[in-house]
Structure 1
């Protein structure tokens, strides 16, 4: 299966904050700009006009704009960014150094209060990707799948597609994809 994944546009109030599943707004022009990019790409490559989005508005609203242009959009909670629990939405400076150290010392399995570990994120991403590989009739899905996703989710998906394990150290986590950047994964 081929996945084309675009990272959502840059949110308005993300600067200096721990943002996972905090549902923050994006400028409408940036949403339309990404929808335009996706629409041109789909037209150029004659791809299906179906796109998967997370329920977070920075992804969801791109799907809604595309739906006004004849696309079908599918909302999947599994596509949401990692859940940082009580950290989500906080300024990074509000999170204690000890908490950050605890996270870095158990990078794969640490989850702050009410949050999700990196291992849990990888399980969620792999589960969604595996479900897309097999269609309802039990046959392998060879159609390209289009997604508007989030940086952590995309990074996990890339690592899974490359056969990599969940990183055990923070230094093993790759640089995030840029806002509105498209990635291709073969899974």
Structure 2
């Protein structure tokens, strides 16, 4: 099973703003985002999927639906693919958030939720639920890749879960806007390998 995770393109939000679960617009058009995505996947010789999975947030969903329509694939949203909910920090500048709150979060990155949104543990459990289900669903796909348009946080957590790494080790892995991560699962033994990261 090939799992291709694609980060959404650039958004119309100032740099340094926390926009996790917020529904923010793309900086460009979904048509341009889908065309760039198709070009990148063609360059990496990725076969067209039969279904495109996506976060329900518009910065992902609009690109996923446009791309799926262009290649004749189905498209399905899943709320478990949405970015982490940062609660009261959403749409605030990171440098405007109280230092004490950021310190409390850093001191217990897994369980703290000073913003009132999701903890990393809650976020990870949500993504784990999706990954478990998609591995089962993939058994019915005839060697076509599972392509997913989602967010950096989701992609890092999926990589950590698949590769058996602590999530805390993967949170700072570089991941550009519109980049892809390619994971491959050996159906015989269930082991994952990382084919490409930040491609």
TM-score, normalization by structure 2: 0.81
Distance in 2 of aligned mates of 1:6 and 1:160: 17
* SS of residue matched to 2:38: helix
Distance in 1 of aligned mates of 2:140 and 2:6: 23
Match of 2:196 in 1: none
Q: Is this contact kept in 2: 1:17–1:92, CA < 8 A?
A: yes
Match of 1:64 in 2: 65
Higher RCO (CA < 8 A, seq sep 6+): 1
Question: What whole-Å deviation, never above 9, does each CA across 1:90-133 have from its counterpart, x for those lacking one?
Answer: 11122100000000000111113430011111111111011011
Sort the Cα spacing of 1:95 and 1:76 in 2 relative to 1 into closer, same or farther, 3 A: same
* SS of residue matched to 2:157: helix
How far 1:140 sits from its partner (Å)? 6.9
Q: Is this contact kept in 1: 2:160–2:170, CA < 8 A?
A: no
RMSD: 2.2
- For residue 74 of structure 1, the aligned residue among 73, 76, 85 is 76
Gaps (5+ residues) in structure 1? none
Sort the Cα spacing of 1:83 and 1:186 in 2 relative to 1 into closer, same or farther, 3 A: same
Match of 2:166 in 1: 165
Structure 2 residue 150 is matched with structure 1 residue 149 = yes
